[in-house]
Amino acid sequence: MTYHNGSQWAGGFVADVAVANLTATPIDGWTLVLTLGGDQKVTQAWNATASQTGNVVTLTAAGWNRLIPAGSSVSAGLLGSWQTSNAPPTQAVLNGTPASWPDPAGG
């Protein structure tokens, strides 16, 4: 999983999220739960359905990207606001399993 703040301004952000399947079998249906590192509020998502409770955002696959072939990835995007911090996620869980990423800030 990668998370990249593609664009940030005072009080707002656009982030790109990539969900990778590093296994040898396809993933049919995915849900990614992100614990945001700041006080972000997600106002819109694309290529996934988003819901938010506190600093936890749940992304659920759209119909057209629910299947992630082995060795492939899908992407989603977030648009939102923040007041004091737009820090990257501190935790990610994919289909109930903790996910890791090399650089949650996206470089």
Model pTM score: 0.91
Q: Which of the four pLDDT bands, split at 50, 70 and 90, describes residue 104?
A: very low
User: Residue 107 above 60 pLDDT?
Assistant: no
Spatial separation of the C-alpha atoms in residues 29 and 25, rounded to whole Å: 13
C-alpha radius of gyration, the chain, whole number:
13
Q: Residue written as tokens 């501190």?
A: 90
Each residue's pLDDT tens digit, 63-89: 999 999 999 999 999 999 999 999 999
Given a contact cutoff of 8 angstroms between Cβ atoms, the answer to whether 61 and 29 are in contact is: yes
Beta bridge partners of 94: 32, 97
Given a contact cutoff of 8 angstroms between Cβ atoms, the answer to whether 85 and 38 are in contact is: yes
